[in-house]
Amino acid sequence: MHWNDDGIVLSARRHGETSAVVTLLTRGHGRHAGLLRGGAGRRLRGILQPGNEVAAEWRARLAEHLGTFAVEPGQARAAGLLDHPARLAALAAACAVTEAALPEREPHPALFDALRVLLDALADGETWPAVYVRWEMGLLQELGFGLDLSRCAATGDADDLAYVSPKSGRAVSRAAAEPYKHRLLPLPAFLLGVQTGLPDAGDLKNGLALTGYFLDRHIFAGRNTTAPPARHRLVEKFSVLTTTSGDKFPA
């Protein structure tokens, strides 16, 4: 068995004295692991940082074997974020959530492209927190657990949607939700595409809580686990605000 593919490094775990078991998100072969000889050495350690892109070659005698990787460096992501701890936390969270959520060796080219878009946003500027939340929304959608934010579950109206039902994953209007809004999840306006400008800190935290709830319910709980520690660290970063020019997340 043999293939070549583009990959994004999700993790690299030391194996023995000099090797590493590397997990990549590849465009055509999904989340895929392999043994990389020399992967624990100084030459490859920088290449194997989560979020970096590589050109990967995988070989195995049988398809079900772990197999071995050979990699060539592509676009480096992590090094450019070392001075931006919140963005670095988002990169780590995205890679950890991807590794934990995706079934092994099942192609999801749309998720590969979406992760690239998120990684580009982390390098580009202030929009990255909203892009991260939308990325988790897209992950749920791709895995068959998308939220229905088009109309109110109670009235069928498309106006003034403000909450999401934790049971159905459907939007609820502000008026319809009034009697039991304490049991619903707040729906940030930026997830509806009706907000101009950058979302404020409260909306971003509500967005992260919304996607986190459904990730836990539909994906992690089904595997008897919880969200990766890297995502919990990102939630902590999201709770740290700077009010220099309005509520926003630190870079």
Q: What is the CATH number of the domain that holds 194?
A: 1.20.1440
7 shares its domain with 49: yes
**Mean pLDDT, to the nearest integer, of 30-40?**
94
Query: Structural domain tally of the chain?
Result: 2
121 shares its domain with 59: no
More confident residue, 78 or 244: 78
244 assigned to some structural domain:
no
Whether residue 48 is predicted with pLDDT greater than 60 in this model: the reply is yes
Whether residue 128 is predicted with pLDDT greater than 90 in this model: the reply is yes
Confidence grade of residue 243 (pLDDT, cut at 50, 70, 90): very low
| Domain residue limits at 216 | 79-149+187-238
195 shares its domain with 111: yes
157 assigned to some structural domain:
no
85 shares its domain with 96: yes
**Mean pLDDT, to the nearest integer, of 220-227?**
86
Which pLDDT does position 78 carry in this prediction?
Answer: 87
Whether residue 79 is predicted with pLDDT greater than 90 in this model: the reply is no
Count Cβ atoms below 10 Å from residue 225 Cβ, excluding itself.
11
Whether residue 250 is predicted with pLDDT greater than 70 in this model: the reply is no
Whether residue 244 is predicted with pLDDT greater than 60 in this model: the reply is no
Minimal CA–CA distance to 202: which of 238, 232, 244, 174?
238
Whether residue 122 is predicted with pLDDT greater than 80 in this model: the reply is yes
Q: Is 134 exposed, middle or buried (0-12, 13-18, 19+ CB in 10 A)?
A: buried
68 shares its domain with 121: no
Provide the angle, in degrees to the nearest 10, between the axes of the packed helices 109-124 and 128-142: 170
62 shares its domain with 84: no
Which pLDDT does position 163 carry in this prediction?
Answer: 97
Domain endpoint, select from 38, 55, 76: 76
**Mean pLDDT, to the nearest integer, of 15-39?**
94
Which pLDDT does position 237 carry in this prediction?
Answer: 84
Domain endpoint, select from 21, 41, 76: 76
Which pLDDT does position 248 carry in this prediction?
Answer: 55
CB 205 within 8 A of CB 238: yes
165 assigned to some structural domain:
no
110 shares its domain with 46: no
52 shares its domain with 108: no
139 assigned to some structural domain:
yes
Confidence grade of residue 251 (pLDDT, cut at 50, 70, 90): low
Minimal CA–CA distance to 105: which of 138, 49, 67, 139?
67
Whether residue 109 is predicted with pLDDT greater than 60 in this model: the reply is yes
Separation of alpha carbons 14 and 99, rounded Å: 17
Domain endpoint, select from 58, 76, 94: 76
**Mean pLDDT, to the nearest integer, of 194-212?**
86
**Mean pLDDT, to the nearest integer, of 65-93?**
92
Whether residue 242 is predicted with pLDDT greater than 50 in this model: the reply is no
106 shares its domain with 57: no
CB 188 within 8 A of CB 207: yes
CB 220 within 8 A of CB 143: no
Mean pLDDT over each residue of the chain, to the nearest integer:
91
Alpha helices for the chain (secondary structure H): 42-45, 85-101, 109-124, 128-142, 174-177, 201-215, 229-238
Task: Please give the C-alpha separations between residue 223 and each of 19, 102, 103, 226, in angstroms, as whole numbers.
Answer: 28, 11, 11, 8
120 assigned to some structural domain:
yes
83 shares its domain with 141: yes
197 shares its domain with 233: yes
The alpha carbon of residue 237 and the mean position of all alpha carbons in its chain are separated, in whole angstroms, by: 15
14 shares its domain with 84: no
72 assigned to some structural domain:
yes
Separation of alpha carbons 3 and 68, rounded Å: 11
Percent of the chain with pLDDT over 70: 94
